[in-house]
Amino acid sequence: MKVTVKWTSKKLELDLDVSESPIIFKNQLWSLTGVAPERQKLLLRGVQIKDDTDWSTVKNLQEGAQFMMLGTAGELPKAPVEKPVFVEDLSKNQAAQIMANAPPGLVNLENTCYLNATLQCLRPVHELQSALQADGKSFSGDAVTNIAVSLRELYKQLEKPATVDAIPPVVFLTNFRTAFPQFAQQDNRGHYAQQDAEEAWNQLLTAISSSFGSNGKSPVTRYMGIELEHETTCDDPAAAAAGEMATTTETTDLRLTCHISNTTNNVHQSLAEGMTQHLEKASAALGREAKYTVQSKVKRLPKYLTVHFARFFWRADIKQRVKIRRNVAYPSELDMYQYCTKDLQDKLSEARNHGRVHPDLAADEGCNPSGVYELCAVLTHIGASSDSGHYIGWVKKEKDDWHKFDDDKVSPIKEAEVLKNSGSSADGHIAYLLLYRAKDVEAKPASPSDA
């Protein structure tokens, strides 16, 4: 039900779910006001709402009810302008992070490694952070907006130069679970359940994209959107003879999916196989069911390309999504030229052969003008199923230096070790999501043919 909460001079409009504990509602208020639940005094017509209050016993609780909240937003103690820090005062993890010049990690708030790994792996998309900063929205009664705002504030904390301690993403997590209740599921012991990182990745990007509204292309689509062209042709020559033409459709997605069979060995093989699909449907020309081939080509490449390994499938006998542990190699440099339409290939050739960006691609903010990518983040999983085990994020720093984000533990690692997460060790971490970033176009000296 829609309710209003009056706090100081502000009036907040929120959705109240009476099937949930009041503490959930108070956490939502915390994310909007900065007043922690233990500092809140929530009243409805003079009656105080406590953490364990049964909503069904509250009088005057109805659509449009107006609550009053008392309490002041907490403020973290301010450190001196220059505070000496001694190595002996630091924990082993803090000292290791300083020595490695490592960024801060994120605290696991009970089975939230799936979300921590996702947040760390998306940090290389700097344009997304810039767009969130420039957007300037504030917390409101809109759950999607609150995700974007709390993500902006969380990334600001992570980017602070002096931040060493791992950050508990409480406000962001509260808003994420409010918008997507499936991530607030609990087991029969009352503990928060493990979730699928790929689902969290998709929901987060979809929410951020929606927060920018429908006016023009969102930063998510601009920098991460892949445009595909699909040509569907009937396999039976009789259809063409009867006048049936091939049909062409276009789609935009935020990822490419690599399906894994018992013969899949690497990303290129899986991508190539995925560009050709077969299906059966009714043919108007033949008046019966017929087999069709769908041939897909990439029409636009984004600056950041997400590749998803479809490593989990549903086993009806055990009623669980289980993991495909096959070793599928992925490269540190990915060339997408062969998967593109002829028109896009011609435009990409300008950068590839002559070191200059085609005018059409120069005008397309957020695209990849060469088709060549470098690996910049990997999200891995260890365990038997997507809703169990553990997730870790691996993010490139520079050259072959990377950081391994295991929740609050951050450590340096070399790229060669990151590439081993292909499934070569069935009991180890296996890549689930890859994030590639467009390589810079290198200028080349003009040749006589360019004149």
Q: Which residues are catalytic?
A: 113, 390
In single-letter form, the type of residue at position 136 comes to: G
- 303 contacts 367 by C-beta, under 8 angstroms: yes
Between the alpha carbon of residue 380 and those of residues 25, 125, 247, 268, the distances in Å are: 33, 18, 38, 19
Largest CA distance in the chain: 85
Residues 6+ away with beta carbon under 8 Å from 90: 98, 164
Buried b (16+ CB within 10 A) or exposed e, 74-113: eeeeeeeeeeeeeeeeeeebbeebeeeebbbbbbbbebbb
Identify which of 354, 346, 369, 358 has the alpha carbon closest to the alpha carbon of residue 448: 354
In single-letter form, the type of residue at position 389 comes to: G
d(CA 429, CA 420): 9
Q: Is 305 helix (H, G, I), strand (E, B) or coil?
A: strand
d(CA 69, CA 4): 10
Strands lying side by side in the sheet with 47-49: 10-15, 2-7, 66-70, 41-44, 47-49
- The two beta strands, 409-414 and 430-438, are unpaired
Identify which of 237, 265, 28, 59 has the alpha carbon closest to the alpha carbon of residue 147: 28
